[in-house]
Structure 1
Amino acid sequence: MAVPMFLLAPDLSVSRLCFGTMTLGEQNTVPQSFRLLDAAFEAGINFLDSAEMYPVPQRRETQGRSEEYIGRWMRARNVPRDRIVLATKVTGPSGQMTWIRGGPKSLDANNILEAINDSLLRLSTDYIDLYQIHWPDRYVPMFGETDYDPRQQYGSVAIEEQLDALGKAVDSGKIRYIGLSNETPYGVMKFLHISNYIQSSPKIITVQNSYNLLCRNFDCGLAECCHHESISLLAYSPMAMGILSGKYFSAGGGPSDARMNLFQGRYSEGESRYNLSNVTLKAAVEDYINIARKFGLSPASLAIAFVLIHPLVASAVFGATKVWQLREVVEACNVHLSSEMTAEINKVHARYPNPCP
């Protein structure tokens, strides 16, 4: 069965599975990347997500390769541009990635427009379908943090300037739609409020935040914003960095080439959120795996199906380093959870709420 579709905008139909490409260029070579992209396309996945900072863990030597590999694949396979929906992201302020426009220190107009032009070159395309701000140009708790500390606020670029730059890129035909990522209810509503007062300003149509069995923070405030403002969730990490497969809690701690093992000590964003030594996390994963077994599903099927039944989820943004993993996710998108299954899932969530915020 082909991957179902979702109408993200009147002229933008996307597959309900989005292939996240942040392993291309680090864990996956060019031939491996092409095989993954071939398999995704053949399965009916038309939605590809990337970012200018990818692959991860981020390094000066590899920055931009994920976008580059997508562009090379489209040229090599002669894929019609209108058969693919390309999404990518501009890097937010960072004091570490100094190789990306000096940090970047901010998301001002120059940084945004330069990032768009560079992504277009790497992707070998004239336009980007969905362009997203990877994380806000202001202090917000992210990647495992939960509590807001007003003392950490720093000077940031006005949202008006960010929207103006994005609007110019839309007007010039370089991007079609805009979205946010790793955002908060305040951020989403602020962008919408300001866009209403800027003539011809583009409207946010998506927010790409983490959402999975171990992280349901989206439902605590942001879901209400998205529902009333007709914004769709692009749920990234539906398998919680592969943890929901249970592989990291198997004998030996899972495959040596699994991301959390391969990059141990080098991937601070992932390790801060997905702490494998967290006993609550392990207990929750074991309970979810038991639910999957009880109903004759694989853990991956349960995890993906759970994300896709959410009424505000347009697409689940998943990663895969092997073709068999990609095919397992594709098969899972056609699994439907019964009310009995969701009730058991919710009981586990009540016992272990959001161990991976």
Structure 2
Amino acid sequence: MGIPTFQLAPDLSVSRLCFGTMTFGEQNSLPQSFRLLDAAFEAGINFLDTAEMYPVPQRRETQGRSEEYISSWMRARNVPRDRIVLATKVAGPSGQMTWIRGGPKSLDANNISEAIDNSLMRLSTDYIDLYQIHWPDRYVPMFGETEYDPIRQYGSVAIEEQLHALGKAIDAGKIRYIGLSNETPYGVMKFLQISSYIHSNLKIVSVQNSYNLLCRNFDSGLAECCHHESISLLAYSPMAMGILSGKYFCPAGGPSDARMNLFRGRYSEGESRYNLSNVTLKAVVEEYINIARKFDLSPASLAIAFVLIHPLVASVVFGATRLWQLKEVVEASKIHVTAEMIADINRVHARYPNPCP
């Protein structure tokens, strides 16, 4: 049985597993990336997610390699363009990544247009199926922050300008659909409201936010927006950066080449959200591991299967640096999640709600 698919748009069918490629070009060499992509494609995964800033941790020397590796693989394997759904993202404001358009200082029309053209060039394609705003231009609490502070708001590019630039790219045939990422209910609804009168072909089909056993914030506000507006969730970090496997809480602290160990001190987004020294985090992970054992599953399989049953999830955006990890995710998509499993999970969630927002 192949990977099930989801109709993200009338003419856009995606596999319910989406291979996130942010390790390509850093943790994974080109030959390793080829082997992973070969296995994913053979398993029935047609949906690839990347970004102009990838791989991570982000560096000037490697920026854009993930897109380039995908392009190299498609050429080397003669994969027909219409057999793959390509999703990529434009980086939001960042004072640190000065090598990306000088910051980028903002998500204005020029930045968006330049980012699209550069991604098309690196991907060696005429069009991008799903183009996403990686994070908002305006201030929002994200990557571990939970409370909105109005004092921190700063001047930002109008959503109208961003949508006009995306609309022009749609008219030019450069992108097909638009997605948001790391967004809030307010942001989703404002984009929808403004897009309705700016451009007849502007269709926001997805929001890519974190969703896993340790972070179910999506259900608090965004779920209602997405349900009523027919927007699907692309759930990233279903394994909470590997934490839900329990590997980081073993006596040795996990494999030395595991991401949170390999890049310790260099991956601020991950470390701010997933604090391995948090006693509560360790306790809740152990609870979920015990549930997995009860049902004779691996912790990773339980984590992936749980996200896949969410009624608003179109696809689970997962990462894998080893073939066995990829195979485990594929097998997890075949698991039947029972009412008893969900009841056990929800009892843990009630005691430890969203320890990794």
TM-score (norm 1): 0.99
Which residue is 2:105 aligned to? 105
Q: How many Å separate the matches in 2 of 1:44 and 1:225?
A: 30
Aligned residues: 357
Q: How many Å separate the matches in 2 of 1:168 and 1:280?
A: 48
- Counterpart of 2:130, as a letter, is L
**Cα distance, 1:228 vs structure 2:** 0.1
Which residue is 1:47 aligned to? 47
**Cα distance, 1:200 vs structure 2:** 2.1
Which residue is 1:163 aligned to? 163
Q: How many Å separate the matches in 2 of 1:250 and 1:82?
A: 44
- Counterpart of 1:151, as a letter, is I
**Cα distance, 1:286 vs structure 2:** 0.2
Q: Secondary structure at the match of 2:117?
A: helix
Q: Secondary structure at the match of 1:196?
A: helix
Which residue is 2:19 aligned to? 19
Q: How many Å separate the matches in 1 of 2:163 and 2:231?
A: 17
Q: Is the 8 A contact 2:164 2:199 kept in 1?
A: no
1:124 aligns with 2:124: yes
Q: Is the 8 A contact 2:129 2:176 kept in 1?
A: yes
Cα offsets for 1:53-90 (capped at 9, x unmatched): 00000000000000000000000000000000000000
Q: How many Å separate the matches in 2 of 1:275 and 1:16?
A: 29
- Counterpart of 2:192, as a letter, is L
Which residue is 1:71 aligned to? 71
Which residue is 1:349 aligned to? 349
Distance 1:348 1:27, change over 3 A: same
Cα offsets for 1:265-312 (capped at 9, x unmatched): 010010000000111111110000000000111111100010000000
**Cα distance, 1:201 vs structure 2:** 4.9
- Counterpart of 1:314, as a letter, is A
**Cα distance, 1:199 vs structure 2:** 3.6
Which residue is 1:143 aligned to? 143
1:280 aligns with 2:280: yes
Q: Secondary structure at the match of 2:208?
A: strand
Q: How many Å separate the matches in 1 of 2:250 and 2:130?
A: 38
- Counterpart of 2:220, as a letter, is C
Cα offsets for 1:316-347 (capped at 9, x unmatched): 00000001100000000111210011000000
Which residue is 1:10 aligned to? 10
Which residue is 1:335 aligned to? 335
Q: Is the 8 A contact 1:112 1:165 kept in 2?
A: yes
Written as runs of structure 1 = structure 2, the 5 A alignment for 1:1-357 is 1-357=1-357
TM-score (norm 2): 0.99
Q: How many Å separate the matches in 2 of 1:77 and 1:196?
A: 40
Q: How many Å separate the matches in 2 of 1:145 and 1:8?
A: 29
Q: How many Å separate the matches in 2 of 1:74 and 1:120?
A: 14
Q: Secondary structure at the match of 1:147?
A: coil
- Counterpart of 2:45, as a letter, is I
**Cα distance, 1:198 vs structure 2:** 1.3
Q: How many Å separate the matches in 2 of 1:282 and 1:135?
A: 29
Q: Is the 8 A contact 1:52 1:67 kept in 2?
A: yes
Q: How many Å separate the matches in 2 of 1:331 and 1:206?
A: 25
Q: How many Å separate the matches in 1 of 2:245 and 2:113?
A: 39
- Counterpart of 2:179, as a letter, is G
Q: How many Å separate the matches in 1 of 2:33 and 2:196?
A: 41
Q: How many Å separate the matches in 2 of 1:352 and 1:246?
A: 16
**Cα distance, 1:197 vs structure 2:** 1.7
Q: Is the 8 A contact 1:163 1:201 kept in 2?
A: no
Cα offsets for 1:136-194 (capped at 9, x unmatched): 00000010000000000011000000000000001100000000000000000000000
Q: How many Å separate the matches in 2 of 1:321 and 1:259?
A: 10
Structure 2 residue ranges without an equivalent (≥5): none
Distance 1:81 1:52, change over 3 A: same
Q: Secondary structure at the match of 1:208?
A: strand
Alpha-carbon RMSD: 0.6
Runs of 4 or more off by more than 6 Å in structure 1? none
Q: Is the 8 A contact 1:106 1:156 kept in 2?
A: yes
Q: Is the 8 A contact 1:164 1:201 kept in 2?
A: no
Cα offsets for 1:21-74 (capped at 9, x unmatched): 000000000000000100100000000000000000000000000000000000
**Cα distance, 1:315 vs structure 2:** 0.2
